């Protein structure tokens, strides 16, 4: 399938793997890229720019297909060495970067001068237009269904995607609720040029996470995510567990007096314990409502092949049947 996204990133299928903390290692990115999508290494999971450079080299040993790096700009006390990470990306010959979080304007000139295509994650039309205006090549439009940070507008993709299509000139992909061929065809129908999948790729054989994480996704339904940190205007969609319910109780009791320090035990530094050690109640971890559509743990190749076959069947048979009726 050829779209503006496959052309932009030089990939076979319009499917991008989201940058996920302590999931987006070289083996995850390489598996997606080898299957024809665009795999993404999560930059800040690597503790230093040197570590990222090593991870990029590892990924290059595993695939000769295009892959990218996610670089999330966070409002944190100890600011990461962003110039160092950018240098590692450029020197590693990476040609695609997914930016997220705060405005990436300060690094765009360096990335663009190196011939790198930049796709920025946005949760609203206004942020998407801003990304377009500062020179991003594409955007990932994240609806309210998405795992992680859905923003504060609470607009689901059935509204957000056509609104983005009405306003944007650069191509965009749909993110949030994406799982199968139906998702892809729906995204294309609403104006997107492809889709970004995060949660769905965690439940694959190559995902370098503990088996308990994958089983948790199989067991979950679309009703099992919760929104945390709403009072702090840093909303995150996570999978419900004991720590999350404890966090929500703190939010309820403290109300307007809630501070980040009150919930730090449930949200800070928990990803290695969950993703690597399988401590499923260690804290809050990002998960989309799409968990309700996850019923197996295929390889990335099997998953992407199935998605493309489903999409082709829907377009050629179901939709064509309606048109010819």
Give the domain range for residue 101: 4-209
C-alpha to C-alpha distance for 320 and 87, rounded to whole angstroms: 48
Q: What is the pLDDT of residue 48?
A: 97
> Rounded to 5 degrees, what are φ and ψ at 171?
-70, 155
Q: Is residue 24 part of a domain?
A: yes
The first and second tokens of residue 305, run together, are 């092949």
C-alpha to C-alpha distance for 247 and 243, rounded to whole angstroms: 6
Q: Is residue 182 part of a domain?
A: yes
Strand partners, 53: none
Burial per residue of 216-254, b for 16 or more beta-carbon CB atoms within 10 angstroms, e otherwise: bbeebeeebbbebbebeeebbbbbbbebbeebbebbeee
Lateral strand order in the sheet of 96-101: 15-17, 195-197, 172-175, 138-142, 117-122, 96-101, 67-73, 39-42
Q: What is the pLDDT of residue 77?
A: 67
Cβ atoms of residues 198 and 146 within 8 Å: yes
Q: What is the pLDDT of residue 267?
A: 94
DSSP character string of 28-51:
HHHHHHHTTSBEEEEGGGSSSHHH
The first and second tokens of residue 211, run together, are 């088996």
Q: What is the pLDDT of residue 241?
A: 98
Q: Is residue 273 part of a domain?
A: no
- pTM comes to 0.97
Cβ atoms of residues 97 and 71 within 8 Å: yes
C-alpha to C-alpha distance for 41 and 29, rounded to whole angstroms: 6
Q: Is residue 201 part of a domain?
A: yes
Number of domains in the chain: 1
Q: Is residue 142 part of a domain?
A: yes
- CATH of residue 51: 3.20.20.70
Q: What is the pLDDT of residue 309?
A: 98
> Rounded to 5 degrees, what are φ and ψ at 152?
-120, 5
Q: Is residue 63 part of a domain?
A: yes
Q: Is residue 20 part of a domain?
A: yes
Q: Is residue 108 part of a domain?
A: yes
C-alpha to C-alpha distance for 134 and 41, rounded to whole angstroms: 24
Could you list the mean pLDDT of each consecutive 10-residue stretch along the chain, which spans 325 residues?
98 97 98 98 97 98 98 84 97 98 96 98 98 98 97 97 98 98 98 98 98 98 98 96 98 96 95 97 98 98 98 96 89
CA 295 to each of CA 179, 183, 287: distance values in angstroms, whole numbers, following the listed order = 10, 15, 15
Cβ atoms of residues 98 and 70 within 8 Å: yes
């Amino acid at each position: 399938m050829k779209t503006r996204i496959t052309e932009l990133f030089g990939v076979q299928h319009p499917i991008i793997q989201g940058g996920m903390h302590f999931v987006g290692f070289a083996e995850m990115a390489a598996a997606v890229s080898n299957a024809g999508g665009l795999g993404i290494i999560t930059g800040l999971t690597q503790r230093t720019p040197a570590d990222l450079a090593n991870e990029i080299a590892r990924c290059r040993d595993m695939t000769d297909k295009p892959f990218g790096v996610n670089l999330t700009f966070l409002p944190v006390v100890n600011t990461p060495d962003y110039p160092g990470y950018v240098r590692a990306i450029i020197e590693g010959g990476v040609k695609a970067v997914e930016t997220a979080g705060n405005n990436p304007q300060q690094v765009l000139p360096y990335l663009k001068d190196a011939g790198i295509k930049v796709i920025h994650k946005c949760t609203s039309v206004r942020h998407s237009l801003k990304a377009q205006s500062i020179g991003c090549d594409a955007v990932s439009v994240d609806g309210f269904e998405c795992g992680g940070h859905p923003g504060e507008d609470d607009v689901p993709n059935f509204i957000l995607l056509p609104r983005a299509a009405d306003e944007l000139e650069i191509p965009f992909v749909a993110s949030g609720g994406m799982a199968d061929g139906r998702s892809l065809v729906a995204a294309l129908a609403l104006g997107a040029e492809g889709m970004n999948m995060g949660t769905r790729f965690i439940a694959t054989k190559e995902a370098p996470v503990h088996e308990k994480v994958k089983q948790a996704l199989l067991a979950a339904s679309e009703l099992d995510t919760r929104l945390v940190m709403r009072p702090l205007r840093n909303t995150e969609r996570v999978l419900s567990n004991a720590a999350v319910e404890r966090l929500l109780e703190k939010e309820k009791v403290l109300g307007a007096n809630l501070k980040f320090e009150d919930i730090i035990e449930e949200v800070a530094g928990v990803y290695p314990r969950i993703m690597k050690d399988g401590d499923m109640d260690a804290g809050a971890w990002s998960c989309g409502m799409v968990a309700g559509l996850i019923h197996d743990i295929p390889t990335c190749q099997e998953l992407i092949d199935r998605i493309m076959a489903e999409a082709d069947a829907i377009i050629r048979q179901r939709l064509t049947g309606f048109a010819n009726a």
